[in-house]
Chains A and B, each alone.
Chain A
Amino acid sequence: MLKINNLHISVDGSDILRGLDLEIKPGEVHAIMGPNGAGKSTLAYTLAGKDGYDVTQGDVDFEGENLFALTPEERAAKGVFLAFQYPVEIPGVTMNQFLKTALNAQRKARGEEPLDALALLKRIKAKQKELGVSDEILKRPVNVGYSGGEKKRAEVLQMAMLEPKFAVLDETDSGLDIDALKIVAQGVNNLRRADRSFLVITHYQRLLDYIVPDYVHVLADGRIVRSGGADLAQTLEAEGYANIA
C-alpha cells in the first residue's frame, strides 16, 4: 500500500529525515516511536503534503502512485488521512459543515455522487455515538473551545467519516487521560480492516496497549534504527531510547 524509499526531508534548510525506509502492506498497523526531535511529526506532515517539507532525496509510492506528485487534497481523496497532533481551530465553520464539505469534496474528486443531507446526517450520527462526540460539539466551530480529548475524538470521528485507506495518527494519545485514550483507541480499532492500514506515531508505549500494532519501529536521527513486533514497545518502555541505535 505504502512504500517509503530512502526518504530525505529538509525543513528550513536542516535535514530532519535522513534516509527513511518503510513498507506498509494492506491491513497492517505500524507504530513509529522515538524521542522528541527524531522526525516523527515531519514524517506525518510530509505524507499529508504540508508545505515547507522539502524532499531532497527518495520517494513515496502509494498504491502505485508517486505520492509527492499529488496535492494534499488529492492525497486525501485517494485515501490518505492524517489525524493531527494539534488539530487546527477554524472559527466560523461548524464541525458538521466541515465534515459534510470534506466528505463530498472527496467523493466529487473520486467521481462519486455527493451524499444528500439525510445520508450525511445518518452517517455522522452512527459514528459520533460510537466515539462519544456530542451533538453540541458538532454544532460548534471546528476545534474551537474543544478540550484536548474532544479534539482527538473529533479527529477520529473525521477519520471514521472519511474512511481512508491509509491513516497516520500523529501522537493521538498526547493530552488524553486514560478514559479518553481508551475511547479513541477503540474508535481506531473499529476501523481496522484487511484493506486499511495505519501508521501510529507515538512517544509512549501506552497507546500501543490499546492499539496493538503488527510492527514497531524506532525512529532516531531521521531514520529507522530498529524494527520489531509489538513487544519492542515494551522493551523501549523499560529501557528508554538511549540504548537504541
Chain B
Amino acid sequence: MRTLPEVNEILIHRTCGQNGGKIEDVLFTAAESRLNIVLEKEAELTLIERHCSEKEQEKVVNIGVLLKEGAKLHHYRFQEDDITAKHRTSLAVSLAENAFYEAITLTKGAVDSQCDVEADLLGEQASCVFKEIKLLSGQQKGASSFVVRHDSPDCTSSLECRSVLNDTALGIFDGITRVNKEADGTKASQLSKAVLLSDGTEMRAKPELQIYTDDVACAHGATTGQLDEEQLFYLRARGIPEADARAILIEAFLCEVVDKIVDESVKNEIKVKIGSVL
C-alpha cells in the first residue's frame, strides 16, 4: 500500500494493453491530494482508494481519470475519515470508445463530506457505473453530486446510491444525466434508495435526466422510507431478536449493491466494514 502523508500528488499510468493483476491500493492522509490515472488503450486496473484522517482535518482530494479505447478501471473508494473531519472530493472521468469505469464508494467518515463527480462518455459504447453506500449517523452530512454527460451513441451509465441514516444525519444525492443529441442508443439509469432509522434524519434526493434525443432508454427513481415492518415481523416471528433483525435488513439492503462486486476480497472487505457499523 502507498501512503501519501507529505507527497500529495500521484500519477498512475498503464500502457497499452497492460493488465497486471496487481491492485493499486492507495491511502490518502494529506490535507490536499491529487491523483491522476491514465489508462492507455485496452489497459485494465483495479484501484482501491482509502481515506483516513486526523481529527478535524480538512481534506481536499482531486482525482482525474482518463480512459482510452477499451480501457477498464475498477475503482473502490473507502471514505473513512475521522468523524470530526471535513472531506471534499472532485472526481472527473472521461471515457473513450468502449472504455469501462466502475466506482463503488463507501461513505461513512467525516462530519461533512462532499463528493462531486463529472463523467464524460466521449466515445461510442463507453460505459460507467457509480454506486455509493452512505452509512451516516450522529450529525454527519454526506453529499454527492453527479453530472454524467452522454456525448456519443450507445453508451451506458448508471448511478445508484443507497443510504442508511441514523440520529440526525443528512444525506444528499444530486444526479444529473445529460443525453446530448448525438447520443442515440443511450441507456441511463439513476436510483436513490434511503432507509431512515430515526426521526431526525433527512435524505434529499434529486435524480434528474436531461434528454435531447429520442432513441434512449432511461429510468430514474428515488425512495425514502423506514425498514419494512412486515419483513421485521417475519424475522422476529422466527425467533430473531429485534436488534439483530434490523441489522440483517440493513445489511441486506446495502448488500444488493455489494453483491455484484466481482473482486471477492474487496466485496468481503466492504461487507466487514458495513457489519462493523451495524
> How distant is A170 from chain B, measured CB to nearest CB, in Å?
11
Contacts A92-B255, A92-B256, A105-B244 given; does A76 touch B233 at CB 8 Å: no
Contact indicator B241/A92 (Cβ below 8 Å):
no
Contact indicator B237/A72 (Cβ below 8 Å):
yes
A75: B residues at CB distance < 8 A: 237
> How distant is A148 from chain B, measured CB to nearest CB, in Å?
17
Determine which residue in B237, B238, B241 has the highest number of CB atoms from chain A within 10 A of its CB, and name it.
B238
Contact indicator B233/A51 (Cβ below 8 Å):
yes
> How distant is B239 from chain A, measured CB to nearest CB, in Å?
4
The size of the chain A interface, using a CB distance under 8 A, is: 29
> How distant is A1 from chain B, measured CB to nearest CB, in Å?
18
Contact indicator A50/B239 (Cβ below 8 Å):
no
A9 in the interface (beta carbon within 8 A): no
A218 in the interface (beta carbon within 8 A): no
A90: B residues at CB distance < 8 A: 231, 234-235, 249, 252
Contact pick for B240, options A51, A87, A91, A102, CB 8 Å:
A102
B245-261 contact mask (Cβ, 8 Å, vs A): 1 or 0: 10011011101100100
A88 CA / B236 CA spacing, docked (Å): 12
A87 CA / B230 CA spacing, docked (Å): 10
Contacts A92-B255, A105-B241 given; does A73 touch B236 at CB 8 Å: yes
B54 in the interface (beta carbon within 8 A): no
> How distant is B254 from chain A, measured CB to nearest CB, in Å?
8
Per DSSP, are chain B's interface residues mostly helix, strand or loop, or mixed?
helix
A158 in the interface (beta carbon within 8 A): yes
A72 CA / B252 CA spacing, docked (Å): 21
A89 CA / B231 CA spacing, docked (Å): 7
B215: A residues at CB distance < 8 A: none
A141: B residues at CB distance < 8 A: 252
A103 CA / B244 CA spacing, docked (Å): 13
A49 in the interface (beta carbon within 8 A): yes
A48: B residues at CB distance < 8 A: 233, 237
B229 in the interface (beta carbon within 8 A): yes
A188 in the interface (beta carbon within 8 A): no
B242 in the interface (beta carbon within 8 A): yes
Determine which residue in A90, A103, A106 has the highest number of CB atoms from chain B within 10 A of its CB, and name it.
A90
Chain B, interface size: which category? 20 to 34
Contact indicator B239/A162 (Cβ below 8 Å):
yes
A82 in the interface (beta carbon within 8 A): yes
> How distant is A6 from chain B, measured CB to nearest CB, in Å?
25
Contact indicator A49/B239 (Cβ below 8 Å):
no
Of all chain A residues, the one with the shortest Cβ separation from B229 is A51
Contact indicator B238/A76 (Cβ below 8 Å):
yes
Contact indicator B233/A92 (Cβ below 8 Å):
no
> How distant is B161 from chain A, measured CB to nearest CB, in Å?
17
Of all chain A residues, the one with the shortest Cβ separation from B256 is A92
A147 in the interface (beta carbon within 8 A): no
Contact indicator B236/A72 (Cβ below 8 Å):
yes
A87: B residues at CB distance < 8 A: 234
Contact indicator A101/B231 (Cβ below 8 Å):
no
A189 in the interface (beta carbon within 8 A): no
A73 CA / B236 CA spacing, docked (Å): 5
Q: Considering the complex, which residues of chain A in the window 54-84 have a beta carbon less than 8 Å from any beta carbon of chain B?
A: 71-73, 75-77, 82, 84
Name B residues whose Cβ lies closer than 8 Å to a Cβ of A. Answer: 229-231, 233-242, 244-245, 248-249, 251-253, 255-256, 259
Known: A73-B239, A91-B252, A105-B244. 15 other contacts (CB 8 A): A49-B237, A50-B237, A51-B229, A71-B242, A72-B236, A73-B240, A76-B237, A88-B230, A88-B231, A90-B252, A92-B259, A101-B244, A101-B248, A102-B239, A105-B241
A-B CB contact pairs (8 Å), 27 listed: A50-B237, A51-B229, A51-B233, A71-B242, A73-B236, A73-B239, A73-B241, A76-B239, A77-B239, A84-B234, A87-B234, A90-B231, A91-B252, A91-B256, A92-B253, A92-B256, A93-B252, A102-B235, A102-B240, A105-B239, A105-B241, A105-B244, A106-B239, A109-B239, A109-B241, A141-B252, A162-B239
Name A residues whose Cβ lies closer than 8 Å to a Cβ of B. Answer: 48-51, 71-73, 75-77, 82, 84, 87-93, 98, 101-103, 105-106, 109, 141, 158, 162
